[in-house]
């Protein structure tokens, strides 16, 4: 089985982390006839917002994904189903399962990063990919709603020597995190945020950078980042 995760509004791929902090794909076989109910089968998207697993048995499955976007499966406090946008599919051979979601945030590079003295300075723009009204309309019925869920809590410039840089793989000698309290980031939404790496990256080194930001809301108990695309940066000798 394979598939893509895209923004329902723009059609752009939803870039993510590689691991439990990114987009999780959860499968449950519904055609199983044994006495023991099979466990959930989980795996994770690649950073480009695509997923694939070639070791899935033929059968009828429920497939859902969870990430830094409006949950596809939403339950009330009483456990009643409010919405179920997961997929029920028959898998046999190569089967495509694409998802369209509402990401919390959208991140974009503004211009090219600049290298000076072993430090990288990059400009990033962060905007909401789902309106506050739509977010509240879909999250509040699940119970325990708080307006501070929409607060942007941090923006990070991740640095790594591998191209799948992100929360799962980053070098803390150079990665920069800027934390924001309460709703203080709201005035920066849609504006250019300038971030410079920490430490001094050795001359001649090749690194990869990626910006990530997250809101004060957890999906499946994890506050996940939304990302932009990774960039390669060569540090001059």
Q: Are the C-beta atoms of 30 and 60 separated by less than 8 Å?
A: yes
Length of the chain: 237
Mean pLDDT of 31-43: 74
- DSSP strand E in 129-199: where? 152-160, 176-179, 192-196
Q: How far apart are CA 160 and CA 142, in angstroms?
A: 38
CB 153 within 8 A of CB 180: yes
CB neighbours of residue 56 within 10 Å: 19
Question: Pick from 43, 47, 41, 40: which is nearest to 5 by CA?
Answer: 47
Find how far residue 62's CA is from the centre of its chain.
21
- CB burial of residue 75 (10 Å; 0-12, 13-18, 19+): middle
Q: Are 155 and 175 in contact (CB under 8 A)?
A: no
The per-residue pLDDT for range 58-103, each reduced to its tens digit, is 899 999 999 999 999 999 999 999 999 999 999 888 899 999 999 9
**147 DSSP assignment:** G
Average pLDDT on 2-17 reads 96
Q: What is the pTM of this model?
A: 0.94
- Where do the DSSP E strands lie in 10-53? 24-29, 41-44, 50-52
Contact of 49 with 23, CB cutoff 8 Å: yes
Query: What does DSSP say about strands 24-29 and 59-66: parallel, antiparallel, or unpaired?
Result: antiparallel
140-154 residue pLDDT tens: 999 999 999 999 999
Handedness of CA 166, 168, 220, 97 (dihedral sign): positive
Radius of gyration over every alpha carbon of the chain, rounded to an integer in angstroms: 19
Which domains are delineated in the chain? 2-101 (2.60.40.1120), 105-234 (2.60.40.2060)
- Summarize pLDDT for 169-178 with one digit per residue, the tens: 999 999 999 9
């Amino acid at each position: 089985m394979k598939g893509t995760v895209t923004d329902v509004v723009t059609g752009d791929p939803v870039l993510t982390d590689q691991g439990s902090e990114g987009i999780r794909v959860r499968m449950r076989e519904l055609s199983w006839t044994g006495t023991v109910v099979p466990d959930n089968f989980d795996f994770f998207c690649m950073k480009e917002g695509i997923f694939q697993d070639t070791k899935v048995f033929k059968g009828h499955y429920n497939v859902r994904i969870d990430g830094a976007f409006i949950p596809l499966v939403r339950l009330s406090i009483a456990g009643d189903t409010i919405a179920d946008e997961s997929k029920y599919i028959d898998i046999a051979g190569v089967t495509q399962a694409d998802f369209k979601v509402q990401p919390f945030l959208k991140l974009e590079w503004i211009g090219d990063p600049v290298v000076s003295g072993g430090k990288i300075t990059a400009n990033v723009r962060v905007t909401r990919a789902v309106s506050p009204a739509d977010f509240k309309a879909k999250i509040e019925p699940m119970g325990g709603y708080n307006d501070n869920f929409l607060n942007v809590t941090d923006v990070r410039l991740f640095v790594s020597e591998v191209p799948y840089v992100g929360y799962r793989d980053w070098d803390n000698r150079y990665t920069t995190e800027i934390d924001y309290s309460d709703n203080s980031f709201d005035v920066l939404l849609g504006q250019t945020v300038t971030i410079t790496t920490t430490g001094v990256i050795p001359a001649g080194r090749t690194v990869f950078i990626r910006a990530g930001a997250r809101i004060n809301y957890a999906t499946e108990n994890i506050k996940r980042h939304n990302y932009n695309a990774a960039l390669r940066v060569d540090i001059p000798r």
